[in-house]
Amino acid sequence: MEQHLVEYCKANAPLGSGEVVTRITQQFPDVRIEAWDCLDYCDICCRRPCVLVDERNCVSADTPDALWTLVESHLLG
């Protein structure tokens, strides 16, 4: 099984990605987490919670709970 990577922008953490990253570390301890100053998805990042999964999937949603559901499906899939 490949080790997943979830990256997030530090500026997005207050919008909800920080909450999702906390849940990831609790429920998927083998997932590697990296925080960056910028991921270059500013058009999405400034408006809604988002993370980058496995360096290729920018996942965003209207709420942290909705983002969690999408990220969880990526990690389980």
Per-residue pLDDT of the chain (77 residues), as tens digits, is 579 999 999 999 999 999 999 999 999 999 999 999 999 999 999 999 999 999 999 999 999 999 999 999 999 98
Domain of residue 30: give its range. Answer: 5-76
CA distance 46 to 2: 30
Task: Give the chain's domain count.
Answer: 1
Rounded CA-CA distance 58/70 in Å is 11
Contact 47, 58 (CB under 8 A): no
